[in-house]
Amino acid sequence: MPERHTVLVTGATGNTGSRVTARLAALGHPVRAASRTARTAPPGGARAVPFDWYDESTHAPALNGATRAYLVPPPGDPDPAAVMFPFLERARAAGVTRVALLGSSAIRPGGPGVGQVHQLLCEQRLFEEWTVLRPSWFMQNFTDDHAHAESIRSEGTLTTATGTGRVPFVDADDIAAVAAHTLTATSAPEHDLIITGPEALTYDEVAATITRVTGRTVTHHPVTPPQLAARLTRLGIPAEFARVLAALDDAISEGAENRVTDTVRRLTGRAPRAFADYCRAAWSPRSTATAPSRPTATAPSR
Ligand SMILES: NC(=O)c1ccc[n+]([C@@H]2O[C@H](COP(=O)([O-])OP(=O)(O)OC[C@H]3O[C@@H](n4cnc5c(N)ncnc54)[C@H](OP(=O)(O)O)[C@@H]3O)[C@@H](O)[C@H]2O)c1
């Protein structure tokens, strides 16, 4: 019987955290599924625990008994290290020995936001065993509560400043599989894992794939970075964050995301899901992605 680890999963109601929770619970590990709003019972017998990055009184109870932790930074916080570093110190004191931080392929150690937390893990030696999971852009951006998904539903368009740049979109389920592996494997994880899908696609190709799968025309509408920033600001995203997102698109247009890694296959033993397969499942008759659209002003999370 493999060793069981009690794992604190933050962001447990989100894209990756919910899937990490389900995977760990299915493997028989006790999971403390942490978020501010545990509306429904977490999957697989995991235990819902209240947790707010900005409410220190929730930290110790959430950590109770945990030896490993999956860390989703506080969404939209330009300086997550300010709340995460004290938490990481508490986690170590509470007996956590291994952590997996959700970062981003676009942000290097020492970069802005989560890059500062990555740097702290490198320099502070809080944990002997740690990893930063750095996925590329999620396939879920086209189907869930994201600006792209909303404009596909409402306008049949994808507006980006990526030009003909390529992105190796990745399924959140593959990210969760890698996360579960790094949190439970016998050997300590590598410190920096870039996680991609199997192919790097342009947004023109993404639009064509969605068109083919859904039978509804979706087109890519290329704009300049300033035009994109203005559009995102009109959608309700704070101007500074809108400029950051536009700059990420600009970097994509220059090839920053144009690569594919073997991380998913190497760590999970199976190939990452292809975008067309993701779309076929997402827009199958039984999927919630075919539900009537609902208005949302949700900001892209990166
Ligand atoms: N989308 C992409 O293409 C992409 C690509 C690479 C990296 N990323 C990174 O992925 C991260 C987001 O991960 P995700 O998509 O798995 O999460 P998500 O779906 O955005 O969900 C965020 C989670 O955080 C929880 N949360 C929100 N505010 C909180 C607070 N103050 N204290 C504690 N928990 C809080 C939410 O639950 P409650 O509201 O219930 O608390 C929810 O479970 C971001 O850091 C982003 O940079 C995204």
Atom from ligand 1 closest to the CA of residue 13: 43
If the chain, 302 residues long, is cut into consecutive pieces of 10 residues, what is the mean pLDDT of each piece?
90 97 97 88 89 98 98 94 98 98 97 96 94 98 93 96 98 98 97 98 98 96 98 92 94 98 98 98 74 34 54
Supply the pLDDT for residue 297.
Answer: 32
Supply the pLDDT for residue 97.
Answer: 97
Supply the pLDDT for residue 285.
Answer: 76
Q: Are residues 214 and 81 in the same domain?
A: no
Q: Are residues 226 and 205 in the same domain?
A: yes
Residues in contact with 224: Cβ distance below 8 Å, sequence separation at least 6, in sequence order: 161
If you measure from the C-alpha of residue 139 to the centroid of ligand 1, how many angstroms do you get, rounded to a whole number?
15
Q: Are residues 141 and 62 in the same domain?
A: no
The range of the structural domain enclosing residue 200 comes to 136-171+195-258+273-302
Beta carbon of 301 within 6 Å of any ligand 1 atom: yes
Atom from ligand 1 closest to the CA of residue 114: 45
Q: Are residues 84 and 119 in the same domain?
A: yes
Supply the pLDDT for residue 192.
Answer: 97
Q: Are residues 83 and 14 in the same domain?
A: yes
If you measure from the C-alpha of residue 226 to the centroid of ligand 1, how many angstroms do you get, rounded to a whole number?
26
Q: Are residues 248 and 285 in the same domain?
A: yes
Q: Are residues 131 and 142 in the same domain?
A: no
Choosing from 89, 109, 135, the residue where a domain stops is 135
Supply the pLDDT for residue 288.
Answer: 57
Choosing from 86, 111, 135, the residue where a domain stops is 135
Supply the pLDDT for residue 270.
Answer: 98
Supply the pLDDT for residue 302.
Answer: 56
Choosing from 135, 158, 184, the residue where a domain stops is 135
**98-102 and 68-71 strand pairing:** parallel
In angstroms, the CA 103 to CA 135 distance is 7
DSSP assignments along 58-108, one per residue: GHHHHHTT-SEEEEPPPTT-S-THHHHHHHHHHHHHHT--EEEEE--TT--
In a domain, 295, yes or no: yes
- The amino acid that residue 107 corresponds to is I
